[in-house]
């Protein structure tokens, strides 16, 4: 059974590959701003799950002919802080303001997940959910923050930080699932796959998974 990741995120792809999957990547290209504008009163979980569903559904329809019996996984992540959801800052000034608000504090990284099971080109079964991980941020010095912003990394990721990249230096700790902070919760995805009748171990491209637990 072919797994299709409805996301351009290299971090999500890396997580799935390290966990034994070899997904096809298809970028959804949905109008996220328009979707969010249409649901101003929705909760953070509802918003990110709606976006994940839109991405997965868009991709499922596109790949129906090429992969009629695939499993499509869609995700969307945002940081919930001060009662507001924030996504990708896209420019250095916005990222700097985000870090001014986050430094020395905690926020919730909320990721919506949608898993669609295809059958003969049609969407047959759907499972959705969201995961929340608390992130405790450090207080980078001004030179550290300037150097981080200059890399461009925080401009293209939810909340203007990463856990698995350069931003990991400025995260004091997390409470919850680390893979969720990277962009896709493995525990939740496993449960959602089960919800559409798929056992995750049957999807492993490498028996036993691709990663290793080593502390040499």
Structure tokens at 153: 């990394």
Set 29, 33, 76, 175: catalytic member: 76
Residue 214 has pLDDT above 90, yes or no: no
Q: What is the pLDDT of residue 212?
A: 47
| C-alpha R_g of the chain | 17
Residue 76 among the catalytic residues: yes
> How do residues 89-116 score in pLDDT, each as one tens digit?
989 999 999 999 999 999 999 999 999 9
111 alpha-carbon distance from chain centroid: 6
Rounded to 10°, the helix 142-151/92-102 angle is: 140
Helix intervals (H) in 63-182:
92-102, 142-151, 178-182
Given a contact cutoff of 8 angstroms between Cβ atoms, the answer to whether 127 and 115 are in contact is: yes
Q: What is the pLDDT of residue 208?
A: 47
What's the whole-number mean pLDDT along residues 40-69? Answer: 96
The residue ranges of DSSP E strands in 6-105, in sequence order, are 24-25, 71-81, 84-86
**Does residue 150 come out as left (phi exceeding 0), alpha (psi in the -120 to 50 range) or beta?**
alpha
* Domains along the chain with CATH numbers: 3-203 (3.90.950.10)
The 10 Å Cβ neighbour count of residue 77 is 30
Strand-pairing partners, residue 135, are 107, 174
Comparing 4-13, 124-133, 177-186, 199-208, which segment has the lowest mean pLDDT? Answer: 199-208
Look at residues 34, 47, 112 and name the one whose alpha carbon lies nearest to residue 77: 112
Strands 24-25, 3-5: pairing kind = parallel
What pairing do the DSSP bridges indicate for beta strands 106-119 and 171-175?
unpaired
Residue 209 has pLDDT above 50, yes or no: no
């Amino acid at each position: 059974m072919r797994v299709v990741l409805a996301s351009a995120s290299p971090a999500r792809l890396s997580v799935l590959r390290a966990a034994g999957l070899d997904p096809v990547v298809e970028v959804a290209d949905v109008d996220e701003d328009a979707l969010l504008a249409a649901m101003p009163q929705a909760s953070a979980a509802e918003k990110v799950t709606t976006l994940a569903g839109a991405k997965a559904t868009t991709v499922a329809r596109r790949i129906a002919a090429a992969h009629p019996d695939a499993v499509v996984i869609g995700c969307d992540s945002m940081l919930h802080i001060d009662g507001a959801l924030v996504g990708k800052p896209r420019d250095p000034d916005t990222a700097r303001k985000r870090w001014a608000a986050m430094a020395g504090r905690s926020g919730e990284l909320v990721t919506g997940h949608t898993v669609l099971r295809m059958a003969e080109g049609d969407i047959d079964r759907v499972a959705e959910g969201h995961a929340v991980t608390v992130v405790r941020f450090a207080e980078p010095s001004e030179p550290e923050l300037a150097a981080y912003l200059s890399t461009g990394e925080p401009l293209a990721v939810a909340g203007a930080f990463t856990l698995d990249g350069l931003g990991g230096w400025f995260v004091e700790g997390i409470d919850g699932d680390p893979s969720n902070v990277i962009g896709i919760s493995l525990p939740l995805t496993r449960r959602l796959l089960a919800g559409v009748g798929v056992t995750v171990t049957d999807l492993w491209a490498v028996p036993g998974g691709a990663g290793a637990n080593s502390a040499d």
